[in-house]
Amino acid sequence: MNEPTRFSLRQKVIVQFGGTGLLGRSLVSSLATAGATLVIASRNRASLDELAAAERAAGRSVAVDEVDIGSEPSLHALRDRVLAQHGRVDGIVFNAVSRPMKSYDDDLAAWKSSMETNATGFFSAVRVFGDAMAAKRSGSIVNIASQMGSIGMNPWLYEGTPMTVAPDYFFHKGGMINLTRYLASHYGTKGVRANVVSPGGIFNPEKPQAPAFLERYGKMTMLGRMADAAEIGGAVVFLLSDASTYITGANLPVDGGYTAK
């Protein structure tokens, strides 16, 4: 296999969980452009139909399927539909996230609600599809964490702005990083790799962050700015591709040097 082909996702069936947000939509574009046969799995199928149609109009293979990550039978049904149509799954990208908690002082019900998707749903999804790939002795799991899974909260970034940051996100993303190491060990001899991509802060052109936050955040990175959502997809494509076949259990920061300072 020549080097350009190794970096391609052509002839690979990829399931992406979560595609409605800024990063999720960008990942759909990155994976589809790299040649993947992509299935976007979401609770709200209708919200992704337009995105998938636009990708298909550009000649790319993108479909949307419905799933409730909080229901293991729903995940089993999704797996069975993908296998029935494509015969295999070559990789998954877990980008689904729920953020019901808005502050440290929120009612515990918000914390419990976030656990359903970000902890229990996450584990259930990667187990259902990890086992399916292990049965074929080939596959790649890429989990989308965050630099917040590796560092503490910096209140200086948010001072004087309406922005807040809740504790559950730090808890879940830190747990995702270490569970991915467990998955790498569990599935390694079965031909399935498991890695994490940890993005830094992503600029949102649809709802720009507070100017004071943007200035302070830029000072915390080596590149002096937040990321563009499109800058995250390359790392994900790489970890799904045959160019990374000896990489597993890794946490790849895509954060402009934030966590290296």
Using CA atoms, how far apart are residues 223 and 108, in angstroms rounded to an integer? 38
Q: What is the pLDDT of residue 45?
A: 83
Q: How many Å from the N-terminal Cα to the C-terminal Cα in the chain?
A: 38
Half-sphere exposure of 1 (CA within 13 A, CB side): 12
Is 252 a residue whose pLDDT tops 70? yes
Strands 251-254 and 139-144: unpaired
Domain ranges of the chain: 3-260
Task: Please name which of 43, 106, 89 lies closest in space to residue 69, comparing C-alpha atoms.
Answer: 43
Say which residues have a Cβ less than 8 Å from residue 211's Cβ, sequence separation at least 6. Answer: none
Is 203 a residue whose pLDDT tops 60? yes
Using CA atoms, how far apart are residues 126 and 118, in angstroms rounded to an integer? 12
Share of the chain above pLDDT 70, in %: 98
Give the residue numbers annotated as catalytic, written as ranges: 169
Structure pTM? Answer: 0.96
242: left (phi over 0), alpha (psi -120 to 50) or beta: alpha
Half-sphere exposure of 216 (CA within 13 A, CB side): 13
What is the per-residue pLDDT across 99-109, written as a single tens digit (0 to 9) for each? 999 999 999 99
What is the per-residue pLDDT across 152-185, written as a single tens digit (0 to 9) for each? 999 999 999 999 899 999 999 999 999 999 999 9
Packing angle between helix 108-115 and helix 167-187, nearest 10 degrees?
Answer: 20
**Encoding tokens for residue 200?**
């830094």
Using CA atoms, how far apart are residues 21 and 43, in angstroms rounded to an integer? 13
Is 3 a residue whose pLDDT tops 80? no
Q: DSSP letter at 228?
A: P
Q: What is the pLDDT of residue 144?
A: 98
Average pLDDT, integer, range 116-139:
97
Under CATH, what is the fold of the domain 3-260? Rossmann fold (3.40.50)
What is the per-residue pLDDT across 33-85, written as a single tens digit (0 to 9) for each? 999 999 999 988 888 999 999 999 999 999 999 999 999 999 999 999 999 99
Q: What is the pLDDT of residue 47?
A: 83
- Beta bridge partners, 14, equal 38, 91
Q: What is the pLDDT of residue 2?
A: 61
Average pLDDT, integer, range 12-29:
96
Q: What is the pLDDT of residue 261?
A: 82
